[in-house]
Structure 1
């Protein structure tokens, strides 16, 4: 019998994701946001990596999974390279928590101006990073919310003259590389209202368990989104068999807009996103998942339990007709997220736009879905007394429970074999 908390084998070394964040403060030294910086390990330095890859990895690891843990409700300042900006990648993410930083390496082209204007119109805050004043950037100023001056490159007096010349624009000015109390006071007197630097805090490394989609899942999804007409049933089938992709999809739906707790299955999430955002979501995850991460025993169990719960739901004579079949599958799949992410399940579910009945099942084991999940776990743990009680309450024949478990094992084995 499969244990409900299968340990990963010794060769399945946990993979961690690293993000550095440095606080951005106002004049009263109150933190209003963080600049998020990509890291590929615990060393607090930017690695030798392609900027597009770094941005995709940061977005995938942050906005698609640990959004609240990283920001705590504050703004996230994220650097975007030129190609990401002109392709409107930032518009996949929430306007209320993202500040789009235009890297100093970006050329002030007509193409870039068009994208900045469109993102501003959609409600995004635009920041110019490490800004050096020039006439080429003048056309951008009506659409910019924040301009960041690096005080190691631009003197406070030079920045002050520029700020005085742009009073007609609604722009906040941020002083970077503040290293002393005197510099902080001088920058405030010059008109800066936002501040960042070692005087306040050095970048802090955040580490969390990384949950990567399988290589096969990424390839299959890329093949599907490359088609002119999306096959939604095919997309749903691919996503539902990969825990990481499922988790990131629902987190992405939650980050894309204000969503009430109503999602009961992955089909609803896919349709809610729409074709444009779905293609972008898959592209971001694909770029961030450049290497294969083979599933371990917990992945297998999550898939197996999802199918087991789905089959038990089908067999139950007592059924809540307000729920769809996918709700039981989702309940089983997400019941192991705490083990996979090393976080309390309650914290994880705060970020998930799933139906309240699913959350109740996962956290309190309440309702029909809670009974089904309890039955599945009891059977896995060979708790036959509880199995008999729950089977009776759900009006499921004992033979159906056995058959459902055997079918779920076979189904999971086939899927895991495909992912090797």
Structure 2
């Protein structure tokens, strides 16, 4: 049984009553931040706890969650209910016009925005009207200096949170200075919570990513895929039913999908997908996987126009390219993996023996990646593809893969 881990540290008011928790990603029972990309850490935390174990993690309290720059720009926080989430803008974020636009949008949607580990700076001045909470790290800035800034912005409806309060005296001094929220070892160290982790199957993620890449979403097809995977279906219903804007509980997956709409649905699938990837695999391998899948698909589409013996369903070429890297992604021999997944016999033969139309396409793609131009030329002739067809397909596949990876941040 796999587990997911999260550290939560209580945030208290002046009467030492818990009003929320800061949620911190952990990759094991040790209470320390792992060596992991911040974007991936945020995705994993949200996937494992906001999409499935929301109430057990927070109860009726707010969850304060750190969001890196790209997640904010992509409006990832809007996937989650505004009534239980405080969006923390990481101190590493650049106060750009792009970020300000995202903050304004999320504030308008009813979200509370917090500036984490805040250091007063003129560049943040335009943001102040849209901020609900400002957090000062008492180890980095004195209470006296924080008070100067707090007095300067008294006209705004902002609460101030004192971080890393370690003694009773600091608590009293912070209260006297005007802080109303508090967090630190004086009250409680972060508590590590362990949950059973429901991870989507790789095949489900591939199928979902394939579907959300289409211009027009097929809700019936998406429903069929989601209903076959306990993890994704549970997270989907939990997420939708936790939304403040749902007047009555969602009773089936079709309702949930229609409620989300195309944009949120694409983001939901993307965040679950990236959160479910194996930590020890480089991003380049995933990028190559979807790039190769799209390259195969585009070649198949162009070849189909010129050949009359294509009786495969749409998507077979995409899956051929995607599955061709399963051995590297899963650290297992490809023949063992292929026997365990329900795929067409033609696809299996293409992967294992490079036979058939799909085998020709895969051979062309792999040869192109390795600059084996003689093989590329031979396979292009078999498929009746011109050099222009192949180059165009490759360029389009790279662009599509870049967009897909950007969606997952």
TM-score, normalised to structure 2's length? Answer: 0.68
1:218 equivalent among 184, 201, 205: 205
Within 2, Cα distance between the matches of 1:235 and 1:417? 19
Q: 1:117-266 residue pairs with structure 2 within 5 A? A: 117-259=104-246, 262-266=249-253
- The answer to whether the aligner puts 1:76 opposite 2:81 as a matched pair is no
- Where 1:418 maps in the other structure, the secondary structure is coil
Within 1, Cα distance between the matches of 2:106 and 2:128? 14
Conserved in 2, the CA contact under 8 Å of 1:131 and 1:150? yes
Within 2, Cα distance between the matches of 1:89 and 1:231? 23
In the other structure, the counterpart of 1:89 is: 76
Deviations 1:353-392 (A, max 9, x none): xxxxxxxxxxxxxxxxxxxxxxxxxxxxxxxxxxxxxxxx
Q: Which moved more, 1:252-261 or 1:151-160?
A: 252-261
Deviations 1:102-145 (A, max 9, x none): 00000000000000011111110000000000100000000000
Conserved in 2, the CA contact under 8 Å of 1:130 and 1:150? yes
1:281 equivalent among 268, 282, 293: 268
In the other structure, the counterpart of 1:385 is: none
5+ long unaligned stretches in structure 2: 280-337, 349-409
TM-score, normalised to structure 1's length? Answer: 0.66
In the other structure, the counterpart of 1:350 is: none
- The answer to whether the aligner puts 1:108 opposite 2:72 as a matched pair is no
Q: Which has the higher contact order (CA 8 A, sep 6+)?
A: 1
- Where 2:242 maps in the other structure, the secondary structure is helix
The alpha-carbon distance between structure 1 residues 186 and 262, as it changes in their structure 2 partners (threshold 3 A), is closer
After TM superposition, give the deviation of residue 189 of structure 1 in Å: 0.6
Deviations 1:397-417 (A, max 9, x none): xxxxxxxxxxxxxxxxx9974
- Which runs of at least 4 in structure 1 moved beyond 4 Å after TM superposition? none
In the other structure, the counterpart of 1:418 is: 342
5+ long unaligned stretches in structure 1: 1-13, 293-413
In the other structure, the counterpart of 1:327 is: none
Within 1, Cα distance between the matches of 2:340 and 2:208? 17
Conserved in 2, the CA contact under 8 Å of 1:241 and 1:415? no
Conserved in 1, the CA contact under 8 Å of 2:240 and 2:250? no
Within 2, Cα distance between the matches of 1:266 and 1:82? 32
Conserved in 1, the CA contact under 8 Å of 2:114 and 2:132? yes
Within 1, Cα distance between the matches of 2:11 and 2:340? 44
Within 1, Cα distance between the matches of 2:106 and 2:246? 21
Give the number of equivalent residue pairs.
Answer: 286
